[in-house]
A and B are shown apart, each in its own frame.
Chain A
Amino acid sequence: MEEKVIKKPNSMYDEFTRKGGAAPKATHYCPGCGHGIIHKLIAEAIDELDIQKRSVVISPVGCAVFAYYYFDCGNLQVAHGRAPAVGTGLSRAEGNAVVISYQGDGDLASIGLNETIQTANRGEKMAVIFVNNTLYGMTGGQMAPTTLIGEKTVTCPTGRDPRFAGYPLHICELLNTLEGPVFIERVSVSDISHIRKARKAIRKALEIQRDGKGYAFVEVLAPCPTNLKQNAEQSAKFVNEEMEKEFPLGNFRDLTNEREPLPHLISDYSKESIDNLYKIDSSASPDAVEDPEFTPVLTKIAGFGGQGVLSMGLILARAGCHAKRFTSWYPSYGPEQRGGTSNCSVVISGEAIGSPVVYESDILISMNLPSLEKFASDVKKGGLILYDSTVGNFEAPTDVRAINVPATQIAKEGGSEKAANTVMLGVLMHLGVTRLSMENYVAAIEETFKEKEKLISFNQNMLKAGAKWAMENL
């Protein structure tokens, strides 16, 4: 006999392989948790609206941090409270995406409240599913902005006292003061009749996204039986009787029929358009060519801010681009414009680069003692260290070649000690360890200083001065 089966929506996985472990078909949520119920409602709406291929669910920080284990659609996991910011970027960069921001009350109503208000006010195209269980669940049930007056949590063991901890924050009411949102509703998943209403609201929020109309917000009152030490019946009763008193259910706004779809932005990620955007001469960044023979060269360059450490890395990276290698440049620096330490990682490779971060380097160029002490032990055996003579004497780790280069002095004699970085590159070039040609370096300098023409020939001379020193002394 034919039958109809009501079961897991298609937009959820058949098995949660990302979760893995001994129970790959069960969620990581506690027994009786509201999250699994809400996940199903979202996935069901995705199925019904036929938007699985367009949907991107943003997992928050909180119990739902692993929501991407379950949704069979696009997924992102973002920093605490930052879902609206990331969602904004996503919905603007991918105009056709249906952005579903899934957040808890600790995430949305506390650390992420500013982003939430700004995003709602701008009326960004996203559906926000705000799960309110009156506490921080993942961390063990601490007081949240939404904790009820008198409600006991581990950080207010005698109950929330408004004289010290203020009052529960009503997010729907707060957002309803803004012009931006299209749809605002508060629902509950306490019991079956509430779940069926919640299902409609969530579907509506996603329908607004399907049609590209703007910001839709659904607050879902959800049980947290574990942290509140309740069983199924007590948790339903708590939501229905205690939470609903503070957070009345209902629709606050529905402008679906009044609002027109927002402009649908189509982004062009072609190389031409990006080069154009950044005013890059396409000849300066030719497409890299696959060459598995050319094993990655990992370089770390470090020193004080202002010593030209980052620009040295940039010139090296540009030389790599010029040689049609896959190249990355990854800076790391403190807040100081001058005087703080900074470093950058440069990877030059014959194949696509997985990570731009260099932990163990083939080459270390160090312009000061603190950086040398910090990074010298990370140089691989057989690797190379170039350090400036101003550092003084330094004992290299075993099986590493360390060269004391009077780069600052050579640059000073040449006209400006600021060019010590280019002198270093000259030495590096002469040693041949980067497997890049002089032509590559010269072209990189030209590209780097194209706005300050006078500096091109000066730096090219300093590059050669460095190479000359290496030839005569090494």
Chain B
Amino acid sequence: MKEQKAEPYPLINVLECKGCGRCIAACPKNVLIMSEELNRRGYHYAQYKGEGCTGCANCYYTCPEPLAIEVHIPIKKRC
């Protein structure tokens, strides 16, 4: 069976996001969008479209909240 191709992805902590929009502006692939809904603290929050992340971590570095975004990058094993 063919293994599903692993891609990097951002993990957004919805509750800590204050919706400033910096990550959306910083994303070179435009794979982040602002939510329509509010989070429990009353902010719109950044969302990942679900594909297209290259793991550049721009969103992590530009985010003012230390705990709001992490970027997961799969390590490719050599065959």
Contacts and interface: CB of A to CB of B under 8 A. Distances in A.
B26 A32 contact: no
Interface in A23-67: 23, 25-27, 29-37, 39-40, 43
A57 to B, nearest CB: 14
B71 A6 contact: yes
A40 B20 contact: no
Contact of B60 (A6, A33, A35, A236): A6
Given A5-B72, A7-B71, A29 B25 contact: no
Contacts of B20: 31-33, 225, 232
B-side binding surface: helix, strand, loop or mixed? Answer: loop
Interface string B48-71: 000000010110111111111111
Interface string A63-86: 000000010000000000000000
A5 B64 contact: no
Contacts of B73: 3-6
A54 to B, nearest CB: 21
A312 interface: no
Contact of B15 (A5, A25, A27, A232): A25
Interface size on B, as a range, is: 20 to 34
B1 interface: no
A36 B65 contact: yes
Contacts of B68: 26
A231 B25 CA distance: 11
Contact of B64 (A7, A34, A43, A233): A34
B6 A1 contact: yes
Given A31-B18, A232-B21, A8 B61 contact: no
Contacts of A191: 25-26, 62
A192 B58 contact: yes
A400 to B, nearest CB: 53
Contacts of A233: 21, 25
Interface string A15-28: 00000001101110
Interface size on A, as a range, is: 35 or more
Interface string A231-242: 111001000000
Contact of A25 (B25, B43, B62, B67): B67
B64 A35 contact: yes
A40 B66 contact: yes
A26 B18 CA distance: 9
A9 B57 CA distance: 14
A401 interface: no
A12 interface: yes
A358 interface: no
A4 B13 CA distance: 18
A196 interface: yes
A26 B71 contact: no
B65 A27 contact: yes
Contacts of A195: 61-62
A6 B63 contact: no
B64 A25 contact: no
B75 A27 contact: no
A1 B25 contact: no
Nearest to B69: A7
16 contacts: A2-B75, A3-B75, A4-B75, A5-B73, A6-B60, A7-B71, A22-B41, A26-B65, A31-B19, A31-B43, A36-B65, A37-B64, A192-B26, A196-B61, A199-B61, A232-B24
Interface of B: 6, 13, 15-16, 18-22, 24-26, 41, 43, 55, 57-58, 60-75, 77
